[in-house]
Structure 1
Amino acid sequence: MKLFRIINFTFLFSLFLVSEVYSAVYNATTSANTYKITITRIELCETGSTTASCSSPVAIYDEGDSGLIDIASTTAGATAASLGNLNKAIIGTTYTYMQVTMKRATTISGGGSALSTSGQACYTDGTAGTSAKGALGSVTSTDEADTVVYMGVPGSSGGSDNTNSTTAGDGTGTNSSTGAFDSGDDYMEWRGALANTFVLKAGRIPTAKLAFGFSEALGFYNTNTTTNDCDTRAAGAGNFAHGFYAGEPSVTVTLID
């Protein structure tokens, strides 16, 4: 029986402070009209865990690709997906954090004025990004379409220590340094403190609530406004980070026993 419920999707994003952490010439964010994520693993972390590390993790969901979960179209308070089983936790053990592994590839749509540079609009137009390159777009709003955009600025480092990229989605991957998104890594790990300390009790059927948001879910990172814009990326590996990126999700997790 699957007892873990992902509900209350109001989807809130704490984006990378890329304008401060990274050396972007221009960076802007906007809301997303579509936002679909794929979860591959969910773990509870014992006392002693931090934003940077998950201590003695126990997997409550390890069944692989969840399929796309469309957060932006989910009514607040409604169930967006049902994943995992909290009864896999160890009875009597105290858990203080959760670690979620997901694909960096996000299906997203959106855009707006003054997004790719200070005076130019830019919209997702179906031109996909990769784990090593940002996604380019279109200056025409009617071209807006669902687009594969990757979480994190490719090749970046120095971001929040509660995230890192990784090479596999099942817990066996090689992780980047915390706050880094290595080019070529297709998955990421996110860690967050539980809103309430959780201890599984015998005979109880626990549930979980995750709250999200997407008002600033889509970003555009521009390394050089002279040679790069919405639909143009200058040659050279140093410009691969240029383009659309998806922000790091900030999630409020409440476990009810």
Structure 2
Amino acid sequence: IPKGTTYTHGQVVLDRIFWVKGTSGSCSTGGTAGTTSAWGVGTTGTAALQKIWASNGTGMSTSMNSSSNKDETETGDSTDGELDNGDQYMKFRWALASPYTYDGFRVPKMTISFDLSAALTFNGTCGGTAGPASGHGIYMSAPVLTNTIE
């Protein structure tokens, strides 16, 4: 970290695959896995771990986009607010609670947490043909990110 540089935003790179477990009414995770272009299919009964992708789409928050790069490289990244087919990763950006300037002595400790409790989204009826075209299925919405710098 260069001494004297002030940072106002953070960015993390996440894989677009999430292994999740949850229920909504009588629908549970544990059915057919999702893909970048199809939501996961729910099932009834006890919830089990299910592979759900952050699906392709446009018009999402401009603080995220998809990428084939798992680092800060931007070459080939999708437009802000888009998750594109073929991209394995997604990047999230956020404003820090207050600017941070490295003093050149004490390396900061940054803690980042991802709250997925409201990000697992059940849509339409349980089972059947996976959306998004059908409007049915399970998909991931954006997580809530929080961070602190000490």
Query: Matched residues in 1 for 2:27 and 2:139: separation?
Result: 13
Deviation at 1:141, TM superposition (A): 2.4
Contact persistence 1:193–1:253 (CA under 8 A):
no
Equivalent residue for 1:194? Answer: 96
Distance 2:9 2:79 in 1: 19
Give the unaligned 5+ runs of structure 2. none
Taking the aligned partners of 1:241 and 1:157, their CA distance within structure 2 comes to 16
Q: 1:133 aligns with which of 27, 32, 38?
A: 38
Task: Provide the rounded CA distance (Å) in 2 between the counterparts of 1:241 and 1:131.
Answer: 15
Contact 1:196 1:255 in 2 (8 A): no
2-side partners of 1:131 and 1:211: how far apart? 24
Change (3 A) 1:126 1:233: closer
Task: Give the structure 2 partner of residue 163 of structure 1.
Answer: 64
**Could you tell me the TM-score, scaled by structure 2's length?**
0.86
Task: Tell me the C-alpha RMSD between the 2 structures.
Answer: 2.2
CA distance in 2, matches of 1:156, 1:240: 15
Give aligned pairs, total.
149
Percent sequence identity is 35
d(CA) in 2 for partners of 1:238, 1:230: 13
Q: Which ranges in structure 1 are unaligned for 5 or more consecutive residues?
A: 1-88, 114-120, 223-228
Moved over 6 A (4+): none
Whether the aligned pair in 2 keeps the contact of 1:218 and 1:246 (CA below 8 Å) is yes
Tell me the TM-score normalised to structure 1 length.
Answer: 0.53
For 1:246, the equivalent position in structure 2 comes to 140
Distance across 1 between alignment mates of 2:134 and 2:71? 27
Q: Which amino acid aligns with 1:254?
A: T
Confirm or deny that 1:150 pairs with 2:53. Answer: yes
Amino acid at match of 2:14: M
CA distance in 2, matches of 1:240, 1:102: 27
Choose from 195, 215, 225 the match for 2:117: 215
CA offset at residue 122 of structure 1? 1.5
Q: Which amino acid aligns with 1:104?
A: R
- CA distance 1:238–1:145, change in 2 (3 Å): closer
